[in-house]
Structures are given as structure tokens and as C-alpha cells.
Amino acid sequence: MENYDALLLVSFGGPERAEDIIPFLENVTRGRGIPQERLRIVAEHYVHLGGRSPLNDQNRALIAALRRDFDGHGLHLPIFFGNRNWAPLLVDAVAEMKDAGVKRALAFLTSAYSSYSGCRQYRGDIEQARGAVGGAPLIEPLRRFFNHPGFVEASIERVQAAWDQLGTALDPHRRAAARLVFTAHSIPRSMASTSDYELQLRATAALIAERIGHPHWDLVWQSRSGPPQIPWLEPDILDHVRALRARGTPGLVIAPIGFLSDHVEVLYDLDVEARRLCQELGLSMVRAGTVGTHPRFVDTIRELVLERLQGDPPRSLGPLPPSPQVCAPGCCPAPERPARGAHPLPSSTPPTGAP
């Protein structure tokens, strides 16, 4: 049993005003020589969706749901919110925690899976923020939760709802030939080879497909943002849709299990680009929701906190064990960076958009 006096929710960040889109993208890509024309291409994704990112609002909704849940279970931890790349910034959240008298906090990182961009980079940013605040509290991240029962069950409910909706567009025979297509943020193969990112995603996808009772599923990738000469995980969702059409697949459910909320990469890459392609090809498509503020996902976060506060045993589903409470020193190392001037492809969160 350990003593902690706060929870910090740590996310990627996103602009909430149109005039902040380019400064946000410049902040994400600082030091990498990305030309302005590339950033303007990505900025159009935000403009298309109303000129702002919904991510901060989604995180605030999650914090509000957590507050209600914590209070209902007698867990009276204050909850703070800080982003890696845009306001509210981590350094400001750490300063706020210090001023509130916080001494030792837990951190919930908004990524379920292990990788450099989804875990270790967040940890490094937390330590950088702490270093900028004299007398900062200790901040210890919670474990990865890809196979926690609550996260898996929330994902199953989202995918089941989408699968049922596909049944209104396809007769039972054609729906039986449809595909479940799970997506996650693509990462460089060099990053994937030094983490369990792909292994964990496949384990979660298999659990969901088994519970849905549909054996025809695929794991594919979206939101690639790296230079073309650097190998990334493939196939891309759009290439996969074309391949499914060529094979005569009548329809698909796209389930973005690599993401926790319906932010810009989900909304643009799937609801705009993938949907438009499916319509052009005559494929029935339904996109499953992310876990968002699903009650079982909120339960998951509380249970992760109680593992540390009360020593509750970690829970998991499937063949992989629970992730360790503390990462090994050398796990998920940073990938090699491309040379300056090796410009990334357009993406909603270039060039290392975290899952």
C-alpha cells in the first residue's frame, strides 16, 4: 500500500481555437525542419472539423466522470490535467499541483498500449515538467491497461453496437462475410520492434472479436506521419479498404481500439477519409466509438489507482500478463530520428502523434 495525494491526467493536447492550429503544429514538430506547407496541409484537417481539436473537451468530460466515480466510491483524490503539447501544459499542471500542496501523485497516461510515443515519451515529458518547477511533487505513472477487463469490456460494447448497426445495412448472409477492422496509430517499425505495441493490440483485438463471435478480423494502421523512406507499420486503413473491396467483402466495421476518444485523427482519418473511400467503392461501413467516458472504462482508471493505493491485485484478460506497475529502465526506447529535411506525410498530429 502506498500514499498518494492526487491524480494527474496526461494527454497529447490540441488547439481549441483556429488561430492556435499552426502554433500547435509548430510546437509538436519543433526542431525537425518541417516546412510550413506541410503544416498547412495538416491544419486543414482541423479546419474541416470546425477549426479546433475536441481532445481537451473529451479529457475534461473524462475527468468529470472520474470525479463522480471517485466520489461515489469514497476516493477523494484531487484530479489535475496537463498536456504534452498544448494548454493546459504539463508544466503548468505540475506548478498547480505544487501550489495545492501535492507531494506524491499518480499519473494516468491516455494510451492503453506500450510504445515509446505512447508511454516512455510521456514519462520523459513529466520529468521535464517536474524539473522546471522547484519543489515539484513526485509523479508516478499508472501501468498500461490494454488487457484490463474494464477497458476490454468497454471496447466490446462499442464494437458490438457498431456490428449491430452494420446488420441494418446488410442481410445476415452478407454481414457474415463482413470484416471487423481494428485500427491503431501507425508507428515506425523501429519503434514497434522494441516494444510490445503490436502484440498488445493483437491480443486486445482477438479478445473483442471472440466476444463478438466474428472470426473475420484484421488489425491495420492509420494516421501515419513519418517520412516515406522510413518503414512504418502497414497496411494503412485506406489500402486495406481497397483490398477488401477487391476481394468482394460487402462491408466492414472499423474499430479504432488504439485510441481512447474520438479526436481529430479518428474523426478525419476514419469518419472523413475512410468513409468517403467506402462510399466510392460501394462498401457498407460503420465506425465503432472509442471507449471515451464509458462507465467500464471509468471503472478501469479507478481500479488502476486502487492497485497502487491499496495494493489490489492487477486484473487482466487474455494470454498476456498485466503490464508491470513500473516499467523496466530500458523498455520502449526512442526510435532513430530521420534526418532533418526528411519531411513527413500529412497527418492530424505529425510527426509522432501518440496513440
Same fold: 7-146+294-310 with 149-287: yes
Q: What is the rounded average pLDDT for all residues in the chain?
A: 93
Note the CATH number of domain 7-146+294-310: 3.40.50.1400
- The confidence band for 353, taking pLDDT boundaries of 50, 70 and 90, is very low
The pLDDT of residue 314 is above 80: yes
Gap between the Cα atoms of 294 and 155, Å rounded:
9
Q: What is the pLDDT of residue 338?
A: 58
The pLDDT of residue 289 is above 80: yes
Look at 136 and 33; give whichever has higher pLDDT: 136
The pLDDT of residue 340 is above 90: no
The pLDDT of residue 47 is above 50: yes
- The confidence band for 1, taking pLDDT boundaries of 50, 70 and 90, is low
Q: At what angle do helices 149-166 and 295-310 cross, to 10 degrees?
A: 170
* pLDDT (average), residues 233-241: 98
Q: Is residue 292 within 8 Å of 260, Cβ to Cβ? A: yes
Q: What is the pLDDT of residue 330?
A: 83
* pLDDT (average), residues 120-126: 96
Identity of the amino acid at 10? V
* pLDDT (average), residues 196-218: 97
Domain ranges of the chain: 7-146+294-310, 149-287
Q: What is the pLDDT of residue 337?
A: 65
* pLDDT (average), residues 217-229: 90
Note the CATH number of domain 149-287: 3.40.50.1400
Q: At what angle do helices 36-48 and 21-28 cross, to 10 degrees?
A: 130
The pLDDT of residue 292 is above 50: yes
CA distances from 262 to 49, 267, 288, 312 (A): 12, 6, 10, 31
- The confidence band for 355, taking pLDDT boundaries of 50, 70 and 90, is very low
- The confidence band for 206, taking pLDDT boundaries of 50, 70 and 90, is very high
